[in-house]
Chain A
């Protein structure tokens, strides 16, 4: 089952020692109306201890990418058709998560232990009928074989680490007794129970108010410096990216179209889509009365993604014949450590 990583094509964004490396991942959904190529060329890597921001608009495949890593996709309707998700385990060996049995012991040992995930809506991801303590303790009982007593001890410690007052008393409460911000803290505590190497945060602050969002982002940064885990930060909010990410991968229609370090993405974006996204974001205190520069048109229908460059129909840049396909545009390293999927830079 385990596939040992081998050096691959020139497309490889290999940097040795990457914690997670995804190569041209394709996850497709098979529906009555046709095939949805939700993830159709995701290439990215995450170094140990860093935060990679995965940014894109709704339907671009960010969450499906995350679910593919943990193999949480519906078994009947979806399949990873191509690509590799290589993850370096604690012991130092590498597994290709794209190849493992999604119901097997290997992935179940990794999920929640070495890779943990937090979700957008904490109320729907916590069980309403179990106490916070039971839900947290379960993680340690399952993955570390901890006794009930030790597991509760650890749960209490984690609650206090994420800034919940009176953790002992809070262990016996149910999620509905927590406020939105506290639930998100509890979920983070649960995710960090086993000291994961990678934390996947899928829109962790989208449902929260700005002041609470600020609390949670500060908390995540603080916990990262204490625990040293890498974070895959999935969001549509460029502000959250600017705040959190060391490096950024931008997705459009199932593909990573650009990846570079955070400052480069914001200061010198190369892909016309990234440029458009940044321009359409209203900026506090800047050019307040000017018109926003919107990207024309809307995201294409997922059943009929244009061949070649999927951004082509909305792209303001001068077109090249190769934009329209038939071949898809490869992700290339246009500048050192700056990858872009655009014919302008081929």
Chain B
């Protein structure tokens, strides 16, 4: 739409994990579940469970970005929190590579977990509520270094200065408070803090959704640069599919606590195999008024996760649903190399992707 020759960054494409299965696995999540009890009445009796995350499995390679998309209530944020051990999973494993071994983070005590905390960091959605208004930028960025006794005194100052410089902030401003910064700058402060301990995996929970488009592009570019420089892996949680496509090597789609499709980004967008992915892609507003678009409007809302429909949870809104979908839960199975989908008809349906 804007006349400019497309510039392709050759260095990124061939590196993506899907094409390079040799990339060592950094994180592996196996059958992760988180059920929140629903309590009623005076005695807080448990009357049911919200299955926020219901058997999620995936792996992230070193230096790879896995996009995790889904609508509100699909369990993507809870998944991110469980990986960080910000919540205790009901069951399942979170395996993280440390000194060549895969360690299950869910079984570790708080104390035993501490060395791993350095390697897993998080960037939050809202740069307004995620920074303590009473701490200066220096306090915020240096806190992880102090807590982990990684640096002190002059060394600490130098490191903070370098971190701020790296994320594009001026070190002179490190004695200011968050309120003096714009949304994009605050998000950079959050990124500097996440980088402080040189992590290997960062869980990015909607890191650009609260930012304006022009600032969003700056932050996405920064995240990409940092990934190259530090060989970071990202679990990139977002609801904006065009942002996710832009940053991810592979993408997983969640619906009601389950992954319904996972594939290399390009494959998922061009050749979706789950009807929910197809509907999500078709729901994205077009990028130019001239673009012709065949829209699939899904009926109704996402069902209540406390009471998900039997069989395939998507059958109530799926336009291809058959009788089997109402009774039998389709397993997540491989439909092409590195491409899994949980649909009974993944092989036969002709679904529309992005041209």
Residues of A within 8 A of B (CB): 57-58, 179-182, 209-215, 217-218, 236-240, 242-243, 245, 262-263, 266-267, 269, 275-296, 298-299
17 contacts between A and B (CB under 8 A): A214-B282, A214-B297, A218-B295, A237-B285, A239-B286, A277-B214, A279-B2, A284-B242, A284-B284, A284-B287, A291-B221, A292-B217, A292-B246, A294-B214, A294-B218, A298-B182, A299-B212
Q: How far is the CA of A214 from the CA of B280 in the complex (A)?
A: 10
- In the complex, which residue of chain A has the Cβ closest to the Cβ of B73? A209
A280-B217 contact, Cβ under 8 Å, with A58-B212, A211-B279, A212-B301: yes
Q: How far is the CA of A238 from the CA of B1 in the complex (A)?
A: 12
Which residues of chain A come closer than 8 Å to B13, judged between CB atoms? 289
Which residues of chain B come closer than 8 Å to A57, judged between CB atoms? 212-215
A282-B218 contact, Cβ under 8 Å, with A210-B283, A242-B288, A266-B288: no
Q: Establish whether residues A243 and B239, one from each chain, have CB atoms under 8 Å apart when the complex forms.
A: no
Q: Establish whether residues A242 and B6, one from each chain, have CB atoms under 8 Å apart when the complex forms.
A: no
A281-B287 contact, Cβ under 8 Å, with A209-B71, A214-B297: yes
A276-B214 contact, Cβ under 8 Å, with A269-B2, A283-B242, A284-B354: yes
Further pairs besides A267-B1, A278-B2, A280-B213: 16, Cβ < 8 Å? A209-B302, A211-B283, A213-B283, A239-B284, A242-B287, A243-B285, A262-B289, A263-B290, A267-B288, A277-B213, A277-B214, A282-B220, A284-B287, A285-B270, A291-B9, A298-B185
Within 8 A of A (CB), among B290-319: 290-291, 295, 297-298, 301-302
Q: How far is the CA of A294 from the CA of B215 in the complex (A)?
A: 7
Q: Establish whether residues B285 and A179, one from each chain, have CB atoms under 8 Å apart when the complex forms.
A: no
Contact with A along B266-286 (1 / 0, CB 8 A): 100110000000011111111
User: CB within 8 A of A290: which of B1, B7, B284?
Assistant: B7
Q: How far is the CA of A33 from the CA of B242 in the complex (A)?
A: 40
Q: Establish whether residues B220 and A211, one from each chain, have CB atoms under 8 Å apart when the complex forms.
A: no
Nearest CB in chain B: distance from A175 CB, A: 15
Which residues of chain B come closer than 8 Å to A217, judged between CB atoms? 285
User: CB within 8 A of A240: which of B9, B217, B220, B285?
Assistant: B285
Contact with A along B84-116 (1 / 0, CB 8 A): 000000000000000000000000000000000
Q: How far is the CA of A240 from the CA of B285 in the complex (A)?
A: 6
Q: Establish whether residues B354 and A180, one from each chain, have CB atoms under 8 Å apart when the complex forms.
A: no
Q: Establish whether residues B4 and A242, one from each chain, have CB atoms under 8 Å apart when the complex forms.
A: no
A285-B354 contact, Cβ under 8 Å, with A210-B283, A211-B283: yes
Within 8 A of A (CB), among B322-349: none
Q: Establish whether residues A236 and B212, one from each chain, have CB atoms under 8 Å apart when the complex forms.
A: yes
Nearest CB in chain A: distance from B323 CB, A: 23
Q: Is B224 an interface residue (CB 8 A)?
A: yes
**What's the A-B contact tally at a CB cutoff of 8 Å?**
154
Which residues of chain B come closer than 8 Å to A242, judged between CB atoms? 285-289, 291
User: CB within 8 A of B217: which of A263, A286, A295, A299?
Assistant: A295
Q: Establish whether residues B289 and A289, one from each chain, have CB atoms under 8 Å apart when the complex forms.
A: no
Q: How far is the CA of A263 from the CA of B289 in the complex (A)?
A: 6
A210-B284 contact, Cβ under 8 Å, with A283-B242, A288-B245: yes
Nearest CB in chain A: distance from B237 CB, A: 14
Contact with A along B133-144 (1 / 0, CB 8 A): 000000000000
Which residues of chain A come closer than 8 Å to B289, judged between CB atoms? 242-243, 245, 262-263, 266
Which residues of chain A come closer than 8 Å to B229, judged between CB atoms? none
Nearest CB in chain B: distance from A54 CB, A: 15
Which residues of chain B come closer than 8 Å to A237, judged between CB atoms? 285
- In the complex, which residue of chain B has the Cβ closest to the Cβ of A298? B182
Q: How far is the CA of A58 from the CA of B182 in the complex (A)?
A: 11
- In the complex, which residue of chain B has the Cβ closest to the Cβ of A245? B289
Q: Establish whether residues A267 and B298, one from each chain, have CB atoms under 8 Å apart when the complex forms.
A: no
Which residues of chain B come closer than 8 Å to A236, judged between CB atoms? 212-213
A211-B184 contact, Cβ under 8 Å, with A242-B287, A290-B8: no
- In the complex, which residue of chain B has the Cβ closest to the Cβ of A240? B285
Q: How far is the CA of A237 from the CA of B2 in the complex (A)?
A: 17
User: CB within 8 A of B216: which of A243, A262, A280, A299?
Assistant: A280
Q: How far is the CA of A135 from the CA of B190 in the complex (A)?
A: 43
Q: Establish whether residues A290 and B217, one from each chain, have CB atoms under 8 Å apart when the complex forms.
A: no
Q: Establish whether residues A286 and B6, one from each chain, have CB atoms under 8 Å apart when the complex forms.
A: yes
Q: Which of A266, A275, A294 has the most CB of B within 10 A?
A: A294
Which residues of chain B come closer than 8 Å to A269, judged between CB atoms? 2
Nearest CB in chain A: distance from B304 CB, A: 9
- In the complex, which residue of chain A has the Cβ closest to the Cβ of B4? A279
Q: How far is the CA of A293 from the CA of B218 in the complex (A)?
A: 8
Q: Establish whether residues A278 and B214, one from each chain, have CB atoms under 8 Å apart when the complex forms.
A: no
Q: How far is the CA of A299 from the CA of B183 in the complex (A)?
A: 10
User: CB within 8 A of B286: which of A211, A243, A263, A276?
Assistant: A243
Q: How far is the CA of A181 from the CA of B213 in the complex (A)?
A: 24
Q: Is B243 an interface residue (CB 8 A)?
A: yes
Within 8 A of A (CB), among B237-252: 239, 241-243, 245-246
User: CB within 8 A of B295: which of A214, A262, A285, A287?
Assistant: A214
Q: How far is the CA of A282 from the CA of B9 in the complex (A)?
A: 15
Q: How far is the CA of A79 from the CA of B277 in the complex (A)?
A: 48
Q: Establish whether residues A181 and B301, one from each chain, have CB atoms under 8 Å apart when the complex forms.
A: yes
Q: How far is the CA of A245 from the CA of B289 in the complex (A)?
A: 8
User: CB within 8 A of B245: which of A58, A238, A282?
Assistant: A282
Nearest CB in chain A: distance from B266 CB, A: 7
Q: How far is the CA of A277 from the CA of B301 in the complex (A)?
A: 32
Which residues of chain B come closer than 8 Å to A278, judged between CB atoms? 1-2
Q: How far is the CA of A53 from the CA of B71 in the complex (A)?
A: 26
Q: Is B147 an interface residue (CB 8 A)?
A: no
- In the complex, which residue of chain A has the Cβ closest to the Cβ of B212? A57
Q: Establish whether residues A284 and B241, one from each chain, have CB atoms under 8 Å apart when the complex forms.
A: yes
Which residues of chain B come closer than 8 Å to A298, judged between CB atoms? 182, 184-185, 215
User: Closest 4 A-B residue pairs measured CB to CB?
Assistant: A239-B285, A280-B217, A294-B217, A292-B217
